[in-house]
Structure formats: structure tokens, C-alpha cells
């Protein structure tokens, strides 16, 4: 049951499933909030999370990551904050944004890279959530 919750809480997994059914993309381009209290709650939640590092999710340098939208696309973890893609060291966010805009016809300005990459059959975001939950209950 926990695995289903992680899969369904990741918007990119849900979106990939829906795109597989060729449904129209209705992803909001901004946060949907009802009032200023919701805005403040979002800010607090986002402010708590430290910047993503591969060490926080137990992924060593040299590990291969697979792109969620095309599993034939991969990159390798180069350091705690960078990946190697097409022979270049870059950030996960930057390579994700480049792939989405050039290969998938998006026109996005920013992206959360960990939502789009798989390691051991879970996105990096799912892995982070799972490990943080396990740490809280331990």
C-alpha cells in the first residue's frame, strides 16, 4: 500500500500515466491556493526541505539514473550535486529542463529534476520521501 501512495503522490508519475492514455495536459502552471494562509503554508513546506543531494538518498557517484519519460535516456551521478549527461557535468535540474524543452516540446523555465529521474524503480523524489519517512519513524 505504501508503494501506491508514493507513486500517486508524485505528479510526474501520474502525468506519465495520463500522457500514456493521450489525455490533454491540464497541468497547472502556477500554484492553486484559496487564500493567503495557503500561500504561507506552501512557503513553509518548501522552505523546510534542504537542497537535493544524492547523498541524502543514498545514491553513490557512478550510479545510473533513468529518465521517467523515456527510459532509454539515462545519466550518471557525477558528484553529490551533479550528473554527467552527454559527456558534460551539469545539474539534474538543468539536464531535465533541457530534455523536456528540446525532446518533449515543452517551454518550461524551471523544473524539479528529482521528480523526473528513476533510481531502483522509484523517482528520486519518491526515494527522498520514503527515506525521510523511515528516518522519522525510526
Does any domain span residue 70? yes
Q: What confidence score (pLDDT) does residue 8 get?
A: 60
What is the count of structural domains for the chain?
A: 1
Question: Which of 34, 12, 7 shows the shortest CA–CA distance to 25?
Answer: 12
Is residue 26 a part of any domain in this protein?
no
Question: What is the mean pLDDT of the segment spanning 113-128?
Answer: 96
Would you say residue 116 lies in a domain?
yes
* Cell digits of residue 84: 554527467
The pTM of this model reads 0.68
Q: Which domain holds residue 93?
A: 48-137
Average pLDDT over residues 131-136: 84
Considering the domain boundaries, does residue 102 fall inside one? yes
- DSSP 8-state class, residue 57: G
Q: What is the pLDDT of residue 135?
A: 80
**39 domain-assigned:** no
Q: Which pLDDT band holds residue 2 (cuts at 50, 70, 90)?
A: low
Domain assignment of residue 77, yes or no: yes
Residue appearing with cell numbers 528516518: 135
- Tallying the residues shown for the chain, one arrives at 138
* Rounded average pLDDT over 36-50: 76
Taking the C-alpha atoms of residue 96 and residue 110, their distance in angstroms, rounded to an integer, is: 9
In a domain, 23, yes or no: no
Q: What pLDDT, in 10s, does the model give residues 61-105?
A: 999 999 999 999 999 999 999 999 999 999 999 999 999 999 999
pLDDT recorded at residue 137: 79
Using alpha carbons, list the distances in angstroms from residue 43 to 27, 35, 38, 129, 132: 20, 13, 9, 18, 19
Amino acid at each position: 500500500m505504501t508503494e501506491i501512495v508514493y507513486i500517486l503522490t508524485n505528479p510526474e508519475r501520474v502525468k506519465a500515466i495520463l500522457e500514456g492514455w493521450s489525455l490533454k495536459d491540464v497541468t497547472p502552471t502556477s500554484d492553486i491556493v484559496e487564500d493567503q494562509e495557503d500561500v504561507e503554508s506552501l512557503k513553509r513546506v518548501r522552505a523546510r526541505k534542504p537542497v537535493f543531494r544524492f547523498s541524502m538518498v543514498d545514491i553513490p557517484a557512478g550510479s545510473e539514473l533513468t529518465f521517467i519519460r523515456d527510459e532509454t535516456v539515462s545519466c550518471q551521478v557525477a558528484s553529490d550535486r551533479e550528473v554527467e549527461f552527454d559527456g558534460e557535468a551539469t545539474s539534474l535540474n538543468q539536464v531535465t529542463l533541457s530534455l523536456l524543452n528540446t525532446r518533449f516540446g515543452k517551454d518550461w523555465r524551471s523544473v524539479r529534476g528529482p521528480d523526473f529521474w528513476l533510481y531502483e524503480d522509484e523517482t528520486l523524489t519518491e526515494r527522498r520521501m520514503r527515506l525521510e519517512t523511515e528516518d522519522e519513524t525510526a
